Protein backbone atom coordinates (compact mmCIF):
# COMPACT_ATOMS: atom_id res chain seq x y z
CA UNK A 1 0.00 0.00 0.00
CA UNK A 2 2.82 2.43 0.79
CA UNK A 3 5.15 3.65 -1.93
CA UNK A 4 8.53 4.63 -0.52
CA UNK A 5 10.67 7.26 -2.24
CA UNK A 6 14.24 7.63 -0.97
CA UNK A 7 16.16 10.88 -1.19
CA UNK A 8 19.82 11.42 -0.33
CA UNK A 9 19.15 15.00 0.82
CA UNK A 10 16.06 17.17 1.21
CA UNK A 11 15.50 20.38 3.12
CA UNK A 12 12.66 18.63 4.97
CA UNK A 13 10.53 15.60 4.10
CA UNK A 14 7.45 17.36 5.51
CA UNK A 15 8.15 20.43 3.40
CA UNK A 16 8.65 18.31 0.29
CA UNK A 17 5.28 16.59 0.67
CA UNK A 18 3.50 19.82 1.55
CA UNK A 19 4.84 21.52 -1.57
CA UNK A 20 4.05 18.57 -3.84
CA UNK A 21 0.93 17.11 -2.25
CA UNK A 22 -1.32 17.67 -5.28
CA UNK A 23 0.88 15.66 -7.63
CA UNK A 24 1.83 12.91 -5.18
CA UNK A 25 -0.39 9.94 -4.37
CA UNK A 26 -1.76 9.24 -0.94
CA UNK A 27 0.31 6.76 1.11
CA UNK A 28 3.55 7.92 -0.46
CA UNK A 29 6.38 7.85 2.06
CA UNK A 30 9.32 10.16 1.52
CA UNK A 31 12.54 9.20 3.31
CA UNK A 32 15.58 11.48 3.44
CA UNK A 33 19.02 10.27 4.47
CA UNK A 34 19.79 13.85 5.41
CA UNK A 35 17.57 16.89 5.99
CA UNK A 36 19.20 20.30 5.72
CA UNK A 37 16.39 22.18 7.47
CA UNK A 38 14.47 19.49 9.37
CA UNK A 39 11.72 21.05 11.44
CA UNK A 40 10.17 20.20 14.75
CA UNK A 41 7.08 21.51 16.47
CA UNK A 42 6.80 25.11 17.61
CA UNK A 43 9.33 26.27 14.97
CA UNK A 44 12.13 24.21 16.46
CA UNK A 45 14.82 22.51 14.39
CA UNK A 46 15.08 18.76 14.04
CA UNK A 47 18.72 17.75 13.89
CA UNK A 48 19.60 14.24 12.78
CA UNK A 49 22.34 12.39 10.94
CA UNK A 50 22.32 9.78 8.18
CA UNK A 51 22.40 7.17 10.98
CA UNK A 52 18.84 8.17 11.90
CA UNK A 53 15.46 7.84 10.26
CA UNK A 54 13.56 10.85 8.94
CA UNK A 55 10.45 10.32 6.86
CA UNK A 56 7.01 11.71 6.09
CA UNK A 57 3.80 10.00 4.99
CA UNK A 58 1.27 11.71 2.74
CA UNK A 59 -2.37 11.11 3.67
CA UNK A 60 -5.55 12.47 2.14
CA UNK A 61 -8.20 11.53 4.70
CA UNK A 62 -11.83 12.49 4.43
CA UNK A 63 -12.29 13.46 8.06
CA UNK A 64 -13.25 16.56 9.99
CA UNK A 65 -10.42 19.08 10.29
CA UNK A 66 -10.67 18.90 14.08
CA UNK A 67 -9.56 15.26 13.92
CA UNK A 68 -6.21 15.99 12.25
CA UNK A 69 -4.34 16.22 15.59
CA UNK A 70 -5.48 12.70 16.45
CA UNK A 71 -3.33 11.41 13.59
CA UNK A 72 -0.37 12.50 15.66
CA UNK A 73 -1.52 10.10 18.37
CA UNK A 74 -2.12 7.33 15.80
CA UNK A 75 1.47 7.55 14.54
CA UNK A 76 2.73 7.93 18.14
CA UNK A 77 0.96 4.72 19.12
CA UNK A 78 2.47 2.99 16.07
CA UNK A 79 5.99 4.10 16.97
CA UNK A 80 5.55 3.02 20.56
CA UNK A 81 4.26 -0.41 19.53
CA UNK A 82 7.27 -0.98 17.31
CA UNK A 83 9.84 0.31 19.81
CA UNK A 84 8.24 -1.82 22.52
CA UNK A 85 9.39 -4.90 20.62
CA UNK A 86 12.94 -3.81 21.51
CA UNK A 87 12.59 -1.86 24.77
CA UNK A 88 10.00 -0.18 26.98
CA UNK A 89 9.00 3.24 25.73
CA UNK A 90 6.43 5.88 26.61
CA UNK A 91 4.51 8.56 24.77
CA UNK A 92 4.83 12.06 26.07
CA UNK A 93 1.57 13.59 24.97
CA UNK A 94 1.02 14.74 22.38
CA UNK A 95 3.91 13.57 20.26
CA UNK A 96 7.27 12.64 21.72
CA UNK A 97 8.50 9.12 22.22
CA UNK A 98 10.53 8.59 25.35
CA UNK A 99 12.89 5.84 26.46
CA UNK A 100 14.39 6.00 29.97
CA UNK A 101 13.30 9.64 30.35
CA UNK A 102 14.98 10.73 27.10
CA UNK A 103 13.43 11.62 23.76
CA UNK A 104 14.09 9.09 21.02
CA UNK A 105 11.57 10.28 18.42
CA UNK A 106 9.45 13.29 17.50
CA UNK A 107 6.38 13.70 15.36
CA UNK A 108 5.24 16.67 13.29
CA UNK A 109 1.78 16.35 11.73
CA UNK A 110 0.74 19.16 9.39
CA UNK A 111 -2.58 19.61 7.62
CA UNK A 112 -3.09 21.39 4.32
CA UNK A 113 -6.63 22.62 4.61
CA UNK A 114 -8.71 24.85 2.34
CA UNK A 115 -12.48 24.28 2.48
CA UNK A 116 -11.72 20.70 3.28
CA UNK A 117 -8.61 18.66 4.01
CA UNK A 118 -6.38 18.53 0.95
CA UNK A 119 -3.67 16.53 2.65
CA UNK A 120 -2.09 15.62 5.95
CA UNK A 121 1.66 15.18 6.22
CA UNK A 122 2.86 12.91 9.01
CA UNK A 123 6.54 13.56 9.73
CA UNK A 124 8.63 11.33 11.95
CA UNK A 125 12.21 11.64 13.14
CA UNK A 126 13.71 8.74 15.10
CA UNK A 127 17.20 8.64 16.50
CA UNK A 128 18.27 5.18 15.47
CA UNK A 129 22.06 4.72 15.35
CA UNK A 130 23.36 8.15 16.37
CA UNK A 131 25.44 7.93 19.51
CA UNK A 132 26.29 11.57 20.13
CA UNK A 133 24.08 14.64 20.26
CA UNK A 134 24.64 18.40 20.29
CA UNK A 135 25.56 19.69 23.76
CA UNK A 136 22.16 21.21 24.46
CA UNK A 137 20.48 17.86 23.71
CA UNK A 138 22.82 15.45 25.49
CA UNK A 139 20.75 15.09 28.64
CA UNK A 140 17.42 15.10 26.77
CA UNK A 141 17.97 12.90 23.73
CA UNK A 142 18.77 9.27 23.13
CA UNK A 143 18.81 6.78 20.27
CA UNK A 144 17.80 3.17 19.93
CA UNK A 145 21.47 2.27 19.63
CA UNK A 146 22.34 4.11 22.85
CA UNK A 147 19.58 2.29 24.69
CA UNK A 148 20.04 -1.15 23.17
CA UNK A 149 23.79 -1.13 22.76
CA UNK A 150 23.65 -2.39 19.18
CA UNK A 151 22.99 -1.18 15.65
CA UNK A 152 19.42 -1.32 14.42
CA UNK A 153 18.32 -1.51 10.79
CA UNK A 154 16.58 1.71 9.72
CA UNK A 155 14.79 -0.12 6.92
CA UNK A 156 13.38 -2.74 9.28
CA UNK A 157 12.15 -0.11 11.72
CA UNK A 158 10.52 1.86 8.90
CA UNK A 159 8.74 -1.23 7.56
CA UNK A 160 7.53 -2.21 11.03
CA UNK A 161 6.23 1.33 11.65
CA UNK A 162 4.38 1.46 8.34
CA UNK A 163 2.78 -1.90 9.01
CA UNK A 164 1.61 -0.86 12.52
CA UNK A 165 0.44 2.53 11.26
CA UNK A 166 -1.44 0.87 8.42
CA UNK A 167 -3.68 -1.03 10.80
CA UNK A 168 -4.11 1.67 13.48
CA UNK A 169 -4.84 4.36 10.86
CA UNK A 170 -7.45 2.23 9.11
CA UNK A 171 -9.06 1.57 12.52
CA UNK A 172 -9.02 5.32 13.19
CA UNK A 173 -10.68 6.08 9.83
CA UNK A 174 -13.33 3.50 10.69
CA UNK A 175 -14.04 5.23 13.99
CA UNK A 176 -12.29 2.57 16.05
CA UNK A 177 -9.83 4.28 18.37
CA UNK A 178 -7.50 1.36 19.19
CA UNK A 179 -4.61 3.82 19.28
CA UNK A 180 -6.06 5.60 22.33
CA UNK A 181 -5.62 2.49 24.49
CA UNK A 182 -1.98 2.27 23.48
CA UNK A 183 -1.47 5.97 24.26
CA UNK A 184 -3.21 5.61 27.64
CA UNK A 185 -1.15 2.55 28.57
CA UNK A 186 2.13 4.25 27.76
CA UNK A 187 1.33 7.73 29.00
CA UNK A 188 4.67 9.21 30.14
CA UNK A 189 2.98 12.14 31.85
CA UNK A 190 0.53 10.11 33.95
CA UNK A 191 0.58 11.23 37.59
CA UNK A 192 3.42 13.66 36.91
CA UNK A 193 3.42 17.28 37.99
CA UNK A 194 4.39 19.53 35.10
CA UNK A 195 4.16 23.17 34.16
CA UNK A 196 1.70 24.27 31.52
CA UNK A 197 2.06 27.91 30.56
CA UNK A 198 4.01 28.47 33.80
CA UNK A 199 1.26 26.95 35.91
CA UNK A 200 1.95 23.78 37.87
CA UNK A 201 -0.61 21.08 37.21
CA UNK A 202 -0.89 17.34 37.72
CA UNK A 203 -1.58 15.04 34.78
CA UNK A 204 -4.23 12.45 35.56
CA UNK A 205 -4.80 10.59 32.31
CA UNK A 206 -5.61 10.77 28.61
CA UNK A 207 -9.27 10.42 27.76
CA UNK A 208 -11.17 8.66 24.97
CA UNK A 209 -10.92 11.80 22.81
CA UNK A 210 -7.14 11.82 23.09
CA UNK A 211 -7.15 14.89 25.35
CA UNK A 212 -4.94 15.25 28.39
CA UNK A 213 -6.88 15.15 31.65
CA UNK A 214 -5.26 17.35 34.29
CA UNK A 215 -5.84 18.61 37.79
CA UNK A 216 -5.44 22.37 38.10
CA UNK A 217 -6.21 24.05 41.43
CA UNK A 218 -8.04 20.86 42.40
CA UNK A 219 -10.33 21.14 39.38
CA UNK A 220 -10.27 18.45 36.71
CA UNK A 221 -9.81 19.88 33.20
CA UNK A 222 -9.12 18.67 29.68
CA UNK A 223 -6.29 19.99 27.54
CA UNK A 224 -6.72 19.77 23.81
CA UNK A 225 -3.95 18.85 21.48
CA UNK A 226 -1.54 21.65 20.71
CA UNK A 227 -3.05 24.00 23.25
CA UNK A 228 -0.13 23.96 25.63
CA UNK A 229 3.57 23.55 25.96
CA UNK A 230 4.76 21.32 28.74
CA UNK A 231 7.91 22.78 30.14
CA UNK A 232 9.49 21.20 33.15
CA UNK A 233 10.69 17.96 31.66
CA UNK A 234 13.21 19.15 29.14
CA UNK A 235 12.52 22.69 28.09
CA UNK A 236 10.03 21.52 25.55
C1 LIG B 1 9.38 17.47 17.25
O2 LIG B 1 9.92 16.72 18.06
O3 LIG B 1 9.20 18.68 17.53
C4 LIG B 1 8.95 16.94 15.92
C5 LIG B 1 10.11 16.48 15.08
C6 LIG B 1 9.69 15.97 13.73
C7 LIG B 1 10.88 15.72 12.82
C8 LIG B 1 10.48 15.04 11.55
S9 LIG B 1 11.90 14.46 10.66
C10 LIG B 1 10.91 14.13 9.26
C11 LIG B 1 9.93 15.27 9.14
N12 LIG B 1 10.51 16.36 8.40
C13 LIG B 1 10.70 17.45 9.15
O14 LIG B 1 11.21 18.53 8.77
N15 LIG B 1 10.26 17.22 10.40
C16 LIG B 1 9.71 15.89 10.54
Inter-axis angle of helices 68-84 and 154-173, to 10 degrees?
Answer: 140
The pLDDT profile of the chain, 236 residues, written as one tens digit per residue, is 899 999 999 999 999 999 999 999 999 999 999 999 999 988 889 988 899 999 999 999 999 999 999 999 999 999 999 999 999 999 999 889 999 999 999 999 999 999 899 999 999 999 999 998 877 776 789 999 999 999 999 999 999 999 999 999 999 999 999 999 999 999 999 999 988 877 888 999 999 989 999 999 999 999 886 555 565 544 44
End-to-end CA distance of the chain, in Å?
35
Q: Which residues contact ligand 1 via a Cβ below 6 A?
A: 12-14, 35, 38-41, 44, 46, 54-56, 96, 106-108, 123-125
Q: Which atom of ligand 1 is nearest to the CA of 35?
A: 14
Cβ pair 184, 191 in contact under 8 A: no
- Which residue's CA is minimally distant from atom 15 of ligand 1? 39
DSSP-derived secondary structure for 89-130: -EEETTTEEEETTEEEEEEEEEEEESSSEEEEEEEEEE--S-
Distance from residue 38's CA to the centre of ligand 1 (Å): 6
Question: Rounded to the nearest whole angstrom, what is the distance from the C-alpha of residue 3 to the centroid of ligand 1?
Answer: 20
Amino acid sequence: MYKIIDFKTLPSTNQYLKENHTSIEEYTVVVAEKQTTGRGRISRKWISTSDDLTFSILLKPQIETSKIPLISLVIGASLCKVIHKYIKCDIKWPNDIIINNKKVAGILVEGIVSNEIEAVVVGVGININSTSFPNDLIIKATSLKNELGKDISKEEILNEILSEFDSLYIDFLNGNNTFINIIKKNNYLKNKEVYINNKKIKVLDINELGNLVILEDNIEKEIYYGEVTLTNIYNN
